[in-house]
Chains A and B, each alone.
Chain A
Amino acid sequence: MSAASTTLVATAPARRGRLAADSGFVLIVSLVMAFLYLPIWILIIYSFNDNRTLTWPLTGFTTHWYEQLFQNEQLLTAIGNSFYVATCSTCLTLLVGVPAALALHRFSFPGKTIFRRLLLLPIALPGIVTGISMLNMFKMFGFNLSLETVILGHATALLAVVVTQVFARLQRLPKSLSEASSDLGANPLQTFIHVTLPNIRTALIGAGLLSFVLSFDEIPVTFFLTGRDNTLPMYIYSTMRRGVTPEINAVGTIIVLMSLILIIISVVFTVRDNTSKGIA
């Protein structure tokens, strides 16, 4: 009895201390989460607020800004342009980046390290430098600036993202897997399709999604390389001179929603990849 009570006495302060530490931890986490997500919630709330000026208190619920958004020709074109640019530059950068990563992984050649560093350089270069230098180059070759030149610019800047991610995954893949595949009679192409590709699939999806998002909201490179066409971030930026309108908040909310869907899709893919009963 006395032994039991001493244990209680001894553990109670310890338990209290742990409780305090736990609630402290929860508080910090909540603050960090608020810092990250509060602006987004404010954006969403204002997009449904029945008032042109963005001030408290909220005056009422409306979907008016969404209706207006779908009548704004310029805005809709900008969204369309952004999708076009992001999709094309993602595809282009994957088409160039994946073979580049494979080559880097598979072959050793003189100057390989330098080549790898050069590939990574665009990630470190400010977009403004990439933009100006590509503008100069396109002018030199007599290209007309258009969405296509933006695509080329984005694809170049994003190459580093794709190559790094795919290369890192390839490095983690045991060499014995592709050796086993060729040992079992597969030629290099079959080995790539049946063994390498399924094992780097999640890296491809991840790099693709990231490229898409980066291209979608890219401003500096786009600023220099676009012709008359505007992408969504450029359009939003240009309307900012008149202040943030609730319409822009509505666009922001839609983008948040779509990003969420993309994230869910990628998570579902990754999870299924890890637990799947295999392909084929």
Chain B
Amino acid sequence: MPAIIELSKISKHYGSVIGVEHVDLNVADGEFLTLLGPSGCGKSTLLRMIGGFEMPTTGTITLSGQDVTHLPPQKRDVNMMFQDYALFPHMTVGQNIAYGLKMKGIGKNEARRKAEDALELVGLVDKIDQQPHQMSGGQKQRVALARAIVREPKVLLLDEPLSALDAKLREQMQVELKHMHDKLGITFIMVTHDQTEALVMSDRVIVMESGRIAQDGTPEELYEHPLTPYVANFIGTTNFLPARITQRSAHETRLDVAGQILTTQFDRVPQGDRVRVGVRPEKARFLNGSAAPGNILAGTVSEHIYHGTSLRTAVILPDGTEFYVDAMLPFGMARADAPAIGSEVRIGVEPENVLLFDAED
């Protein structure tokens, strides 16, 4: 797919503070890309540079082949949905949406018709003459979306679009925005600190860490093959255990985890012998009876954390580290079926589910 946006060696410094450092990124036409990271990682700055609200210190930004690095927002064929919606409080919903068309020089009647179409798309056509302050958060969100897409931009930028909504509405809007992306066929670039949001909505996720790209991949790649402990920890939950490599071979690595033996088929084996092992809580399970071959961690159950759909059990390993095991609770299965607190348990982990990282410094 051709790239619609190309960022090349983008850096943004505020005095001696680094906002974004040396980011190279191509965004394919029609893609739903998410910039994910904690606050202060540079994701919003990156988005704002694409929108033209901030100028990079170094580097270039091209939009469908044209260098837009130093163009102001009004000269770029991208539109932004702001975190606080930024609806003009002194205009009606219809006037808000028609504003961008008016600036394009489109006549009043046609602008009104297009505004109606855009509102139709977000299901609010009957609210065209209302004031923004009369609307709920979810409705404002949709108006902001309609206002941003009515100019038919090549790229839609979404700055933490769902952060102001309550949990239920957020879940609903995630799916709605995704459908909107499929319907419009334009490129979406979203910024979020919510990993669920990123996994649910995106074709591709860029995880950012202190101004740099930590990992770039599909949601599945990031979840199944995190490159660093940072990514493994930011997306989902991971149990980290210090370990030592005792034997390397072509397709298997043998590890000593505080006296217990694990093998892994993970293909990125660190150089040094001191490493960190990562295991997702839902990829581990309790073994009953005497059955099962190797890859066992023994420990004592210390706590149950009930999540409704699943149950998290905390197990204390012999060296004192806490290890989480998640079990789904399908119909008919209750928390009572989990091993009792204080009981000795054995945890089984398949070799393909053991992740390997460099040891902590």
Contacts and interface: CB of A to CB of B under 8 A. Distances in A.
B167 interface: no
A30 interface: no
A87 to B, nearest CB: 28
A182 B73 contact: yes
Nearest to A273: B90
Interface stretch (B92-100, B250-258, B263-271): B92-100
A71 interface: no
B313 interface: no
A257 to B, nearest CB: 32
B131 A277 contact: yes
Contacts of A186: 74, 99, 103
A132 to B, nearest CB: 44
A174 B147 contact: no
Given A184-B103, A277-B131, A278-B131, A179 B86 contact: yes
Contact of B86 (A177, A185, A190, A198): A177
Contacts of A280: 91, 95
A199 B89 contact: yes
Secondary structure at chain A's binding surface: helix, strand, loop or mixed? helix
Interface in B70-95: 72-74, 79-80, 82-84, 86-92, 95
Interface residues of B, number: 28
A184 B92 contact: no
Nearest to B98: A280
B72 A182 contact: yes
Contacts of B104: 185
B90 A279 contact: yes
Interface in B135-162: 147-148, 151
Interface in B99-145: 99-100, 103-104, 129, 131
Contacts of A180: 80, 82, 86-88, 147
Interface in A180-206: 180-187, 190, 194-195, 198-199
Nearest to B133: A274
A195 B87 CA distance: 10
Contacts of A187: 74
A190 B90 contact: no
A276 interface: yes
Contacts of A276: 90
A176 interface: yes
A185 B131 CA distance: 22
A199 B132 CA distance: 14
A194 B99 contact: yes
A181 B89 contact: no
Instruction: Please give me the 3 A-B residue pairs with the lowest Cβ-Cβ distance, nearest first.
Output: A184-B100, A185-B103, A176-B86
Interface of B: 51-53, 72-74, 79-80, 82-84, 86-92, 95, 99-100, 103-104, 129, 131, 147-148, 151
19 contacts: A176-B82, A176-B83, A179-B80, A180-B86, A181-B88, A181-B99, A182-B73, A183-B74, A183-B148, A184-B147, A185-B74, A185-B151, A187-B74, A194-B99, A198-B90, A199-B89, A273-B90, A278-B131, A280-B91
